[in-house]
Copies of this chain bind each other. A is one copy, B any other.
Amino acid sequence: MKTIIRFPSPVAIYARASAVGGTEHDGPLGALFDFHDQTDRFGADTWERSEEALSRTVLNLALSRAGESQDEIDLLFAGDLQNQCVASSAGCGSMGIPFCGLYGACSTSCEGLLLASLSLLASRETVRAAVVTTSHNAAAERQFRLPLEYGGQRPPTAQWTATAGGAFLLARSSEPFVKAPSPRISACLVGRAIDSGVTDGANMGAAMAPAAADTLLRFFASPDENPADYDRIVTGDLGTEGSALLSELLRENGLDLLGRHRDCGVLLFDPLKTDVHAGGSGCGCSASVLASLFLPALERGELRRILFLATGALMSPSNLLQGGTVLGIAPLIVLEGGKP
C-alpha cells in the first residue's frame, strides 16, 4: 500500500534532449543544453506558441539523437503550465503519436517518466514511449501573474519560470536497440498532494518543500533504503527558499540527506550573474537539467544511483483569489547509471 513501486526489470531512457531560452543558456549549465534560442521565440509570433514550438523542437531533437522518427513512438506523455496544456497538445502532441496529457505543474517530468515506465512494463505492445515537458517564462508570467511588459515587482521568494524543455525516449532495458549504458529507472514513488496552508502564490518553495519532505520520508521509511545509497538526491525546483525549508522539515523528522541534495532550480542559474530571486522553476527546469546534466553523468558512470523528485506547485490563480491554497506534490524516480 502506497509503497515504493519496484520495477520487475528496469526501464531505460535511451535518448534525451534539452532546449532552453536565452537566460537559461547564459546560466552555468548553458553549454550543456542541446539547443537554445537567445530570443526565447523559437520562431513563433506569440510566447504561447513559442512554447508549442519548443515542445516540438525538443522532441524532434531526442528523436534525431535516437535516429528514430515520431512514427516509431508508441506512446507520448506530455504536459506544461499553460491552461489546457496547449503547448503540449498543439506542440509535441500534434506529431501523430498516441498521446496522454498530464497536469502535474512543475512535477510533470517525473510524473511522465514514471507513467511511461509503468506503461512499458505493463504492455509488450508498447515498445517506445516518449515523455516531453516544457515551460516558458513569458507565457507563465502572463498566465499566473502579470505580463512582463507590466514591469511588476516580484518578492524575494519568487522563482523564475524557466524557458526550457526536456524530452526523453524510454524502452524496456532488454530491448535490443537500447545501448548500454543508458540510464535506467528502477523504481518510483508517486507523490501525494500536500496542503500546508500556503496562500502566497509567490512562495512556491514553501508550498513544495513539505511535499518533497513527504515523499522522501515515505521513501526512506522503507528499511531497504538509506540516503547513503544515493550519490545525489535531486529535487526539481524547490529553489533556495524551498531547499532551506526541506532541510528544516527533514531535520525535524530525523532524516539527513548527507549533503547529497541538489535542486535543479538552484543549479540552472548563477545568482551572482542572473538575479532570479529564489531560483528557477517550471516544468522545463527539472526536465532540461535532468536531460543535460544528470542523465549524462549517469551514463558516464560518474553517478551510480540518484533519486530524482520533480516538485510541483498545484497553484490556480483563481483558486487563490477564492481563498484556496497552493498544494505541493513531488513524485520520485530511482535512476541508475553506469554498467548494469
Q: Hey, which bits of chain A sit against chain B, CB under 8 A?
A: 1-7, 45-46, 48-49, 71-72, 74-75, 79, 82-86, 89-90, 93-94, 96-105, 111, 115, 117-119, 121-123, 125-127, 189-193, 195, 314-319, 322, 324-325, 327, 329, 331
Contact = CB atoms under 8 A, between A and B. Distances in A.
Contact of A121 (B75, B122, B324): B122
B314 A89 contact: yes
Contacts of A193: 89, 93-94, 99
B324 A86 contact: yes
B192 A327 contact: no
Contacts of A90: 314, 316, 319, 324-325, 327
Query: How many copies of this chain?
Result: 2
Given A48-B322, A125-B3, A322-B48, A327 B89 contact: yes
A45 B122 CA distance: 43
A84 B123 contact: no
B48 A93 contact: no
Nearest to A313: B84
A83 B97 CA distance: 24
A207 to B, nearest CB: 12
Contacts of A82: 316
Q: Which 7 pairs across A and B sit closest by C-beta, in order of nearness? A: A98-B190, A86-B316, A121-B122, A84-B316, A122-B122, A89-B314, A118-B122
